[in-house]
Amino acid sequence: MVTGAFGNIGQYIAERLLREGKEVRTLTRSSVYRYEVKAFPFNFDNPSRLVESLQGATTLYNTYWVRFPYGQSTHEKAVENSLVLIKAAEEAGLRRIVYISITNPSEESPLSYFKGKALVEKAITQSRLSYAIVRPTVVFGPRSILFNNIAWLLRRFPIFPIPGSGDYRVQPVSVEDVAEIAVSAGQKEDNIVVDAVGPEIYTYDELVRLIAGRVHGRAKIIHVRPRLALFLAKLVGYLVRDVVITDQEIEGLMANLLVSQGSPIGQMRFSTWLDHTGEALGANYFSELAISYRR
């Protein structure tokens, strides 16, 4: 069972499992289905139906989360829903859960994204399920909203504001590597926690300039105070009817939470991926609200 098998990371996990001859089902809120994957609604408000959907599965690959609060979708609600899902997996008799978390989660974090992920991790480790917790940093791939929209802004606007000094670090990891790490972890027996990170580390300033060079961006890259960067992002968000970036995302980025202290296990280099996809990256804007919230 893969949550969000029609989404970004979930799609790659499902495809890898299908190639290995596994039967794959999904819990989803999407209205777009694929014939290879039988789909069920999440049913967080109906746990007995959720248990029925999970019965017969052996492993749950859980990618469910929300990027930022919007309407009734909050990080606190995502934690609550995740606890319902974990309990349902126990009752349905699943063997193992593979949870897609985030690097550097902490129950003491002032950022609800990182705190929420830590709370879900804690619930998993205290459950009856064997588990693998996979902690990616920021994921790149064909459907990467963050990197695509950085390129889109660099292509179309006269300036690109970087919050603060830009010397905080980012360690991108490919969606294919995350899927491979997750599927491999699902086939193990022992309880593990692993950072899924790529082999390259950039300062944010270096990352933006690298993307600008690959897509021939016209924007002048400038450094501004974080509050001004957020204000300008909100202006762009108003134009595209989306949330471009949040204050928590800026805080997490500047706090170096998107880099790992461990050795990288992802193989694909972000720079190599850019070489292959640079011409297409940012050709169109990807709306988080349209993709994840409005459907």
Q: What is the rounded end-to-end Cα distance, in angstroms, of the chain?
A: 22
**Burial of 134: CB neighbours in 10 Å, binned 0-12, 13-18, 19+:** buried
Describe the crossing of helices 145-156 and 204-215 by its angle, rounded to 10 degrees. Answer: 60
One domain, residues 112 and 233:
no
One domain, residues 105 and 126:
yes
One domain, residues 157 and 263:
yes
295 residues of the chain, pLDDT tens digit each:
999 998 889 999 999 999 999 999 999 877 566 668 899 999 999 999 999 999 999 999 999 999 999 988 999 999 999 999 999 999 999 999 999 999 999 999 999 999 999 999 999 999 999 999 999 999 999 989 999 999 999 999 999 999 999 999 999 999 999 999 999 999 999 999 999 999 999 999 999 999 999 999 999 999 999 999 999 999 999 999 999 999 999 999 999 999 999 999 999 999 999 999 988 999 999 999 988 875 5
Model pTM score: 0.94
For residue 28, the model assigns a pLDDT of: 87
One domain, residues 192 and 90:
yes
CATH number of the domain where residue 71 is located:
3.40.50.720
Buried b or exposed e, range 38-67, using 16+ CB within 10 angstroms: ebeebbbeeeeebbebbeebebbbbbbbbb
Please give the tally of structural domains in the chain: 2
**Burial of 19: CB neighbours in 10 Å, binned 0-12, 13-18, 19+:** exposed
For residue 31, the model assigns a pLDDT of: 59
Instruction: State which residues form the domain around 55.
Output: 2-139+174-196
One domain, residues 267 and 235:
yes
One domain, residues 157 and 38:
no
Cα distance between residue 171 and residue 114, in whole Å: 17
